[in-house]
Structure 1
Amino acid sequence: MSEATLNNLLHALLFSNAEALTLADIQRILARFQDEKTKFEQLELPSPEAAEAEDAQQMAETRLFIETWAAVIPHFPTAAMIREALEALEAQLEITDNPYRLQQTQAGYRLVVKRAYSEWIRWLRDDPKPVRLRGSVLETLAIIAYRPGVTRAEMEAIRGVSVDGPLMKLQELELITITGRADLPGRPSQYATTEKFLELVGLTSLGDLPASDVIAPQKLEAWLQERLEPAEEPAIAVGDAAMGLSEE
């Protein structure tokens, strides 16, 4: 097998999972290893001579697995330890020029194929061309991203025109949502971006957006456009058969 390191283990877990993994998910898996290790060490194992051949082989494989990983998995894996290992994995993926990278979102960590390869992935899956945002839709999205809780009237005051069409389009794409009602006459709806928006632009939170006070509005819109298309695809293959998981 490849070298048993925490980086390689995290790489394998992320690659094989369809959903993003949180720090708590990873802690749970590592803690389970320690539990299984303790159970195995407390077993009263029969001597190799007394055990059936199949049982003896299984015990030997379990012992090898535990001994291999015992030196790698920390006894009390903290979130800080795991985060540090994930940062090391992220740097390793960049250095080795992989076609995918580690992405952190509000939902957790996942591997995504880099944008340079997204068109190839689309052809492989026979997916439709990605929706491209232009003009008024992109301008409206930029306003909502930088002013969470903004109302329709406030957006129209900024843009000088109706935003009915852009709002409908952005809601259809699930890039924005209504988060509440403003304490104003008529109780107008307030809008904010969604988690899907953050995933598409590759950010953990809205606080990671470029500073709006140092970048011209046109450049902000261009930045959003570049981040939104073509989208990065999850770099995962679900299931042993789909992954070509080795039986070795």
Structure 2
Amino acid sequence: MPRYKLTFEYDGTGFSGWQVQPEARTVEGVAEEAFSTLYQQPVDLIGQGRTDAGVHAMAQTAHADLPDVYTAKRILHAMKGLLPDDVALLQIEKSDPQFHARFNARSRRYRYDVHTRPSPLNRHRYWIVNGDIDESILTVCAGKIIGKQDFKNFCIPPDTEKMTTECTILFSEWKSFPSGFGFTYHIEGNRFLRHMVRRLVGGMVHTAQGKMSIDDFESLLNGPEQKQKAFSAPAHGLTLMEVKY
């Protein structure tokens, strides 16, 4: 069977993350169910990585080996009726038989949105933060993240000791909202650990609010592993924007 590269968009509010889990509604689970219905046989999707419960995606990629019976246009049309309203298949294309959504990815890009005043319309998209945030400190902290570093204090410990906690960050920048009532954080790296972006955001925002010093932030970044990890910002402010190959 030919291999296909798939690109999904989803609102993570009603999901327990991307990866299939017993007794839980997941993006991968509903997508596999939709494809299995279309092809009348089990279909297994392999994602580029997992997103946590509540995290959104503009362009989550996956691959699947599918029977060569439908055109890409026909599959896209069918998925509009088979997928729930909070998931969409944006693109499907035949790929090299050896293509792997996870292992062939060169980098991933995320954004995180922080709002500094109540916003009922955006409560599932933004982290609503009380109190002032010093943008200049956000900028300083963001710059310290760039490069190859060990993010052991900004993640949930890996499932195995053989898995490294080193990642290479290619881009890290905060931008203020035009309204002046919030900030968006953009980050791109070769790989990310569980809760890593959320803990980086939480640590930077707490530093910019004076709840910890820049030296404290640097000690989490460059120092030995600590029992008290960086604060994890809420999942709903995070969106996977792009996976580059």
Higher helix share: 1
Taking structure 2 as the reference length, the TM-score comes to 0.24
Higher strand share: 2
Taking structure 1 as the reference length, the TM-score comes to 0.24
Higher-Rg member (1/2): 1
